[in-house]
Structure 1
């Protein structure tokens, strides 16, 4: 295996690790907070709405958008680390 292939494999492995981590967070927020832990979260109010309801309706979308920005930042750092940046 050439050095270029080894670098590409390490890049892809780190990319997959980021993806799994961020998708796991999104799953926990959308499925966990919106469905599994809804009853416990409904004891807390946010803006007049029960927190479990809020996560199911809006919170998971907000978290998803935030995770997109985090992913972009992580990938920019990863690109620089492995020399794939376009600068």
Structure 2
């Protein structure tokens, strides 16, 4: 059985990883795709302005990368705290 201090440290680290992932997700999808779209209109990517490209394609790529990074970070966190499968 894992002691309470180790369990609290594990969940604190887990929540930190989740919070950072959500911030990156928000910035890429909502920030670059909607809020900053007018400012990004001069940059062209694939024949479209960068804001539109991020809303349609770029955010999907970022989300896929986030999934793999999250899985890797959680595997290392699980190993560090002795709760790996």
User: What TM-score does the superposition give when structure 2 sets the normalisation length?
Assistant: 0.92
Q: Hey, which bits of structure 1, 4+ residues long, moved more than 4 A?
A: none
Q: CA deviation at 1:40?
A: 1.4
Q: CA deviation at 1:3?
A: 6.0
CA distance, structure 2, for counterparts of residue 3 and residue 73 of structure 1: 22
1:19 alignment counterpart: 18
Q: Does 1:42 align with 2:41?
A: yes
Q: CA deviation at 1:41?
A: 1.2
Q: Does 1:51 align with 2:50?
A: yes
User: What TM-score does the superposition give when structure 1 sets the normalisation length?
Assistant: 0.90
- Supply the RMSD in Å over aligned alpha carbons: 1.4
| Partner deviation per Cα, 1:11-56 (whole Å, 9 max, x = no partner) | 0110000000110011011010001110111111111111110111
1:1-87 → structure 2 map (5 Å cutoff): 4-86=3-85
